[in-house]
Amino acid sequence: MRAACVQLSVRECDVFNNKRRALQLSSDAADSGADIIVLPELFLTGFCYDIEPERYPYPSLIPFRALSVDSGAILVGSIMSSSDRGTHNMGFCLAGAEMGFYSKTHPFGDEKKHFIPGGIIAPVKISGLSIGLEICYDMRFPEVARKLCESGADLLVTIAQFPAERIHHWRSLVIARAIENQIHHIACNACGSAGGSSMIVGPGGEVLAEAGDEECVIIADIDPGGRDRVRRSITCWEDRRPELY
């Protein structure tokens, strides 16, 4: 499986140019044979609370759905979503006409004034893959990734707008979530106003690809069987004692 992170410079409230660049870079990733293409958190709007959030089936995602149909790739990201309950930072996994969702569990700071926290932590099952999706601040809570993995995630995906001043936290957390769950971790951060350093990490903690602080696409080939081989080699997954934790 070929994985790609689209590290995008997300300009707040500039939907037109964010969409244009996201489509261009996602198309580049698809042309490189990517099977899963991951975009940053709120890649179309940034944290622009003046924009009206969308409702399902999310018209802004129509061209990304077309790209998925043409390429066969799964696309992952998040958008501002409106429901009868309020506004969500809604993570999505898109495979053609098929969509799955995860609402950010832990809004951070001012987000709490605008977003309703999600109430379900479960992998998104799409196109034969079980994706453990988490959004930015969620990664600081190891219980989220652990629950996703205990629920059968084939890989972890984190999408973020993680700030540059704490990018050393980002790198440590991305690698730690992979090591402690012995699973591939695709972590896509925004750049520009955020800190970049998107990473694709293997189940043994090996960094397979890493970005700098500029807009780019990073790609790595990941072996779906690697998770189980690492768990057999170092048996901490088998040796857990959750009845005591």
User: HEC states along the chain?
Assistant: CEEEEEECECCCCCHHHHHHHHHHHHHHHHHCCCCEEECCCCCCCCCCCCCCCECCCCHHHHHHHHHHHHHCCEEEEEEEEEECCEEEEEEEEEECCEEEEEECCCCCHHHHHCCCCCCCCCCEEECCEEEEEEEHHHHHCHHHHHHHHHCCCCEEEEEECCCHHHHHHHHHHHHHHHHHHCCCEEEEECECCCCCCCEEECCCCCEEEECCCCCEEEEEECCCCHHHHHHHHCCCCCCCCCCCC
Rounded CA-CA distance 143/48 in Å is 29
Check 5, 54, 134, 136 and give the catalytic one: 136
Q: Which of 54, 93, 104, 149 is catalytic?
A: 104
| C-beta of residue 97 within 8 angstroms of C-beta of residue 65 | yes
The answer to whether residue 180 is catalytic is no
Q: Is 149 a catalytic residue?
A: no
19 catalytic? Reply is: no
Which residue among the candidates 41, 134, 149, 188 is catalytic per the annotation? Answer: 41
CA-based torsion, 127, 133, 149, 191: positive or negative: positive
Indicate which residues carry an active-site annotation: 41, 104, 136
